[in-house]
Structure 1
Amino acid sequence: MKALFIGGTGVISTAVGALALARGWELTLLNRGTNAARAPRGARVLTADIHDEAAVKAALGDERFDVAVDFIAFTEEDVQRDVRLFAGRAAQYIFISSASAYQKPVAALPITESTPLANPYWQYSRDKIACENFLMERYREEGFPVTIVRPSHTYCGGKAVVALHGARGCWQTLARIRAGKPVIIPGDGTSLWTATHADDFAVGFVGLMGNPHALGTAVHITTDEGMTWNQIYAVLASAMGAPLCAAYVASKFLAVCGRAAGYDFEGPLLGDKAANVRFDNTKIKRLVPDFAPRVSMAQGIRGAVEYLLAHPELQTPDPEFDTWCDRVLAAQSAAKAVFDGAHLA
Structure 2
Amino acid sequence: MKILVLGGTGAMGTHLLNLLGNTDNEIVVTSRIKRQSSKNIKYLVGNAKDDVLLKEILQEHWDVIIDFMLYTTREFTERVKFFLDFASQYIFLSSARVYADSKEPIKETSPRLLDTSMDEEFLSTDEYSLAKARQENILKSTGKRNWTIIRPYITYSSQRLQLGVMEKESWLYRALNHRTIVFSKDINSRLTTMTYGLNVAKGIVSIIGNYDALGEIFHITSDKSLRWSDVLEIYLNGLEEYLGFRPKVMLDNINNLHTSHLAEYQTKYDRLFDRSFDNSKISKYVNIEDFLTAEEGLKKCLEEFLKRPIFKSIDWRAEALRDRKTKDFTNLVEIRGIKQKIKYLLYRLFIK
Task: Output the TM-score relative to the length of structure 1.
Answer: 0.82
Q: Conserved in 2, the CA contact under 8 Å of 1:48 and 1:56?
A: no
| Structure 1 residue 275 displacement after superposition | 1.6
Q: Which residue of 2 aligns with 1:137?
A: 141
Amino acid of the residue matched to residue 18 of structure 1? N
**Percentage identity across aligned positions?**
26
**Counterparts in 2 of 1:79 and 1:226: CA distance versus 1, 3 Å:** same
Q: Which residue of 2 aligns with 1:278?
A: 276
The residue number in structure 2 matching 1:126 is 130
CA deviation after TM superposition for structure 1 residue 328, in Å: 4.9
Displacement of 1:126 in angstroms is: 0.7
Equivalences for residues 1-345 of structure 1 within 5 A: 1-31=1-31, 33-34=32-33, 36=35, 42-61=40-59, 63-103=60-100, 106-118=101-113, 123-138=127-142, 141=143, 143-165=144-166, 169-178=167-176, 179=178, 181-187=180-186, 189-241=188-240, 242-255=245-258, 257-258=259-260, 263-286=261-284, 288-314=285-311, 319-328=316-325
Q: Name the CA shift for 1:107/1:278 in 2 (closer, same or farther; >3 Å).
A: closer
Closer/same/farther in 2, CA of residues 244 and 312 from structure 1, 3 Å limit: closer
Paired residues of 1:251 and 1:270 also in contact (CA < 8 A): no
- Tell me how far apart the structure 2 counterparts of residues 291 and 65 of structure 1 sit (CA, whole Å): 29
CA positional deviation for 1:2: 1.4
SS of residue in 1 equivalent to 2:33: coil
Distance 2:194 2:213 in 1: 23
The alpha-carbon distance between structure 1 residues 315 and 220, as it changes in their structure 2 partners (threshold 3 A), is same
Query: Cα distance, 1:319 vs. partner?
Result: 4.1
Shift of 1:172: 4.6
CA distance in 2, matches of 1:180, 1:54: 47
One-letter identity of the residue aligned with 2:231: I
Whole-angstrom CA distance in 1 between matches of 2:66 and 2:297? 26
Residue segments in structure 2 that go unaligned for 5+ positions in a row? 328-352
Q: CA deviation at 1:318?
A: 5.1
**Aligned-partner SS, 2:163:** coil
Question: Is 1:219–1:283's contact at 8 Å kept on the other side of the alignment?
Answer: yes
State the distance in 2 between where 1:71 and 1:218 align: 16
Assess if the C-alpha contact under 8 Å between 2:92 and 2:147 holds in 1.
Answer: yes
Give CA-to-partner distance per residue, 1:154-204, whole Å, 9 cap, x none: 011122231243xxx404512433526253234162211111001111111
- Structure 1 letter corresponding to 2:204: F
Length, aligned pairs only: 313
2:349 maps to none
- Report the AA paired with residue 8 of structure 2: G
TM-score (norm 2): 0.80
SS class of match (2:77): helix
Residues 245 and 113 of structure 1: is their aligned pair in 2 closer, same or farther, counting only changes over 3 Å?
same
Distance 1:173 1:210, change over 3 A: same
> Relative to structure 1, is the Cα distance of residues 16 and 274 closer, same or farther in structure 2, using a 3 angstrom cutoff?
same
**Contact 2:157–2:196 at 8 Å: present in 1 too?**
yes
Alpha-carbon offset, residue 48 of structure 1? 4.0
**What is the DSSP-based 3-state SS (H/G/I as helix, E as strand, rest coil) of the residue aligned with 1:113?**
coil
Per-residue CA distance 1:48-97 (angstroms, 9 max, x = gap): 43333333222443x21111111114222333233232333210111111
What amino acid sits opposite 2:133 in the alignment? I
The whole-number CA distance in structure 1 between the counterparts of 2:184 and 2:77 is: 39
Structure 1: runs of 5 or more not aligned? 331-345
Q: 1:312, 1:86 → 2: CA distance? A: 37
**Distance between the aligned counterparts of 1:73 and 1:227, measured in 2?**
28
